[in-house]
Amino acid sequence: MSELRNTIMEFTDEQLRTAFFHEKDQYTDEALAIMREELSKRGLAAAPDDEKRVDTATAPLHLDSEDFVRFDYSFSRTDLLLATAVLRDNAVPFFVDNPTSTDIIPFENESEKRYTIRIHKTFIDKTHELLDEHFVKADNKYLLKYTGARDRLRAFNFNDIHLTENASAEELDTALTADEKNIIIALGNRLLREAEQVEKKQERILFYYDSIEPLIGQLQEPDLTALSRNDLLTILEILQVYADDPALPPSMDETILQLLAFFLQTYTA
């Protein structure tokens, strides 16, 4: 095991992403488990790129970087996640510049950094149309136009949540309706079946995959009154995966907003 782990730890970020997302059938379950752990440690699951790199999911690697045009307006870290998801969904070649920082705030945290994108010159007009559907421009910034539950859920980044092991396991009073429990249980069971396809299609790591089955067991208990923070994050991940799926009804939007507010206001850097 140690030799296999050491080999995988020597993978570059790109090698690791390619192996896990595109060559999964060539590796054993043991190797994939180590890759999943290593991707999570490196923050490669859903975080914005910290290096200038063409998005390989949508653009051939041979594209010349000189053909990419920098957009003047910048994004926050969370808004960038939504913007890049939109671009990928529409097969727009792009890459993300290194985040900008300021001399005024030398120890700027992640939430304060601004990111710019570069778009292939043949997709400029299309990109403006796509981004204008979701953002408004103000003070050289792209600001999210819609602040609904689903947009916020899509932009939520689990890498931004910082919890100690004790805090993660601590149980909190929880009041979920029977309908909410049933929806989460149904989607959780579905994700257990579809996990591999989801990780490949969405190019993401399921941070809380191992917690889904225990969560479902708890939600099926008739006298459930408390869940841990880890359980609540597992629920958020299940809902995020199916944010655009008809199986997640509008009646869950208030629950989504409450969960997001709880973690974003308290546990982000």
Report pLDDT for 226: 93
Q: Are 97 and 117 in contact (CB under 8 A)?
A: yes
Tokens of 259: 């969960």
DSSP helix/strand/coil, 90:
coil
| Cα distance between residue 40 and residue 43, in whole Å | 5
Q: Are 161 and 266 in contact (CB under 8 A)?
A: no
Tokens of 46: 């859903």
| Cα distance between residue 256 and residue 236, in whole Å | 7
Radius of gyration of the chain (CA): 19
Q: Are 148 and 89 in contact (CB under 8 A)?
A: no
**What pTM, to 2 d.p., does this model score?**
0.55
Q: Which of these, 229, 207, 211, lies nearest to 159 by C-alpha position?
A: 207
Q: Which residue ranges does the chain devote to CATH 3.30.70? A: 65-146
Number of C-beta neighbours around residue 109 at 10 A:
11
Report pLDDT for 63: 60
Per-residue pLDDT of the chain (269 residues; tens, 9 = 90+): 467 787 888 887 777 877 777 777 677 778 888 888 787 776 665 333 433 444 544 444 456 767 889 999 998 877 787 788 788 878 888 888 876 644 433 444 455 678 899 998 889 999 999 999 888 888 889 887 766 788 888 878 787 787 888 888 999 998 899 999 999 999 999 999 999 999 988 888 899 999 999 999 999 998 888 999 999 999 999 999 999 999 999 999 999 988 988 887 665 54
> Which CATH number does 65-146 carry?
3.30.70
Report pLDDT for 131: 92
Tokens of 116: 């710019």
| Cα distance between residue 240 and residue 92, in whole Å | 22
Task: Please name the amino acid found at residue 120.
Answer: H
Give the E-state strand segments of the chain in sequence order. Answer: 68-70, 94-96, 117-120, 135-138, 141-144, 171-173, 226-228
- Beta strands 141-144 and 135-138, pairing class: antiparallel
Q: Which of these, 235, 197, 230, lies nearest to 216 by C-alpha position?
A: 235
- CA 43 from chain centre, in angstroms, equals 10
Q: CA angle, corner 157, sides to 155 and 38, nearest 5?
A: 140
DSSP helix/strand/coil, 186:
helix
Report pLDDT for 107: 41
Nearby residues of 218 by Cβ (< 8 Å), 6 or more positions away: 224, 227, 231
Report pLDDT for 102: 44
Tokens of 92: 């727009």
Nearby residues of 73 by Cβ (< 8 Å), 6 or more positions away: 116, 137, 140, 141, 142
